[in-house]
Chain A
Amino acid sequence: MNTTNSLLASADWFPLVLSLKVAAVATLLALVAGVALGWVFARKRFPGDTVLEAVFMLPLVLPPTVIGYAILVAAGRHSPLGSWLREHLDYSIIFSWHGAVVASAVVALPLVLKSASAAFANVDRSLEAAASTLRQSPFSIFLRVTLPLAWPGILAGTLLAFARAMGEFGASLMVAGSIPQQTQTLSMAIYDAVQAGHDDRALLLVAVTSLLSVTVLVLSNRFFSLR
């Protein structure tokens, strides 16, 4: 018991705080983009809509290393975007926690997108039609009719996205690196601890991560069954 106490007391909680921060920001970005795209794919038909939706769903099935490499190519030092950002704004997402956010948002987006798309498709169109006869603007209909009916499904997807963002490892490691006290998230800290043979620290971090993920999943299930 003494070793556990001293382990907890001297534990470095930065990875936990950073993981929560990165996952929160990434989920927020994924939520905004996912709801917007989900609405478009649920309500609109245009040429190539299934292909486009598949492209946005790709991060769900692509290996994390592919996603990490794609971000490096798109935003790295020698890329058009990366070099522009570096020159004009003295900014880079590589080796910064912002990079971890980008990687996590990319992998979390499909989860929100799918749930939002399904939730919007399930909203009774006649209710929206009724609202428009009452002279509500399309945006007002969305806010006051569609969204309130769709939010349990969207929330369930968002919680899944949060859990996915918390657990993001491969892509964020390639883009942000595992810099202690700067970009080292929970999963990276576990990886480093195992590699260095610090099994007690690894076990503690694994326990914390598992507890968090299970909690998020249980909450998500509650909202899924609310629909």
Chain B
Amino acid sequence: MRPLRLLSLVLALALPLAAAAQQITVSAAASLTDAFKALGPKFEAVKPGATVRFNFAASGVLLQQIAQGAPVDVFASADQETMGRAAEQKLIDTATRRNFASNALVLIEPLRGGAGVRSLQDLAGPGVRKIAVGKTATVPVGRYTRQVLEGAGLWSALEPRFIQADSVRQVLDYVARGEVEAGFVYRTDAAVMGDKVRIAFAPAAAIPVSYPAAVVSDSRQKALAGEFVAFLSSDAAREVLARYGFGTP
């Protein structure tokens, strides 16, 4: 083969590899979808040559994926419990773990056709047939919901009315479609679909919702991943997160 052709061939093969060398995959909780999608370009602007790919799902599901060997570099979950489990299973580099945002649990209802719920006790009323909650095994918002409802002594009483969702965004979808009369999501999710849902109230006994992020142990891009986690605490990132309704950690 002519030297020029050989060089072109080598470059054509090597360039994708070179591009991959500066790419990280971030598995983030579903509630971070919009904010992280906005943060991606900001990070890439700060680190020229780097690309960030996102993978959004319930934190528990993401943990399972990482445990099964998914090629992920950063894990950002919606509660400390899931990150704690990741640390127990040695899936994250604990030295890199830090909290970067907070949120609040709210009860939402469809904009039209809602039951006019004003308190947790109203959920037991006749107007509320179905309540969407996250699956407690895998979805942090489901666990926050259970804590609140158990605190009010309502969890077992309301259990027959629960529709369990795979992620906080699915809870949001069920309420937006009007298929359930109420659902528990984060304040930031309610803002995303302000045209279809309204916040009925924020439960008084809500536990602080805290988001940690960490570098995954098996990451092949530890340095870049560490920089992304550090970036989440930067002023630029805080400003974006605040725009979407997230609070400081």
Contacts and interface: CB of A to CB of B under 8 A. Distances in A.
Interface of A: 72, 76-78, 92, 94-95, 177-180, 192, 194-197
Contacts of A178: 164
A177 B64 contact: no
Contacts of A72: 177
B4 to A, nearest CB: 46
B70 interface: no
A179 B165 CA distance: 9
Contacts of A78: 177-178
A194 B60 CA distance: 11
B138 A179 contact: no
Given A195-B60, A196-B60, A77 B177 contact: yes
Interface of B: 58, 60-61, 64, 67, 113, 130, 135, 137-138, 162-166, 177-180
Q: Give the one of A94, A195, A196 with max B CB within 10 A.
A: A195
A94 B173 CA distance: 13
Nearest to B112: A78
Given A72-B177, A76-B177, A76-B179, A197 B64 contact: yes
Given A195-B137, A196-B64, A197-B67, 10 more contacts: A72-B177, A76-B179, A78-B177, A78-B178, A95-B130, A179-B163, A192-B135, A195-B61, A195-B138, A197-B64
A187 B166 CA distance: 15
Given A177-B164, A179-B163, A195-B60, A95 B179 contact: yes
A20 to B, nearest CB: 22
A92 B178 CA distance: 12
Nearest to A94: B179
29 contacts: A76-B177, A76-B179, A77-B113, A77-B179, A78-B177, A95-B163, A95-B179, A95-B180, A177-B163, A177-B164, A177-B165, A178-B164, A179-B162, A179-B163, A179-B164, A180-B164, A192-B135, A194-B64, A195-B58, A195-B61, A195-B135, A195-B138, A195-B166, A196-B60, A196-B64, A196-B135, A196-B137, A196-B138, A197-B64
Nearest to B58: A195
A77 B163 contact: no
B164 A77 contact: no
A52 to B, nearest CB: 31
A76 to B, nearest CB: 6
Contacts of B180: 95
A28 to B, nearest CB: 27
Contacts of B60: 195-196
Contacts of A180: 164
Contacts of B113: 77
A125 B130 CA distance: 55
Contacts of A77: 113, 177-179
